[in-house]
Structure 1
Amino acid sequence: MFYRHDNWRVGLNFKNLFDKKYYESQGDWIRSGAPFTVLGTVSVEF
């Protein structure tokens, strides 16, 4: 989710909201997925 006002923006991103165990694969690699994560961002456009 994000909020935008004039030339700035504030956002929050959630990953694995319910903290479930899962696996990701890329080619021959299989790894455990990320735990519950919250990422906040602030950006200003000039």
Structure 2
Amino acid sequence: MTSADLLTDAFARIRESVRGTVEGLTPDQLAFRIRRRTPSRGWCGT
């Protein structure tokens, strides 16, 4: 396995995990920020 293969696999797993985490949330929940300068949940899931 090359380093490129490893990174491709890792990012695919992250994407699957994030999608499962934000699935079913409302637009308001996706836009929520814990602190003013932190990214929203929706930003992390795109």
TM-score, length basis structure 2? 0.30
> Which has a greater percent of helix?
2
> Which has a greater percent of strand?
1
- Point out the structure with max Rg over C-alpha: 1
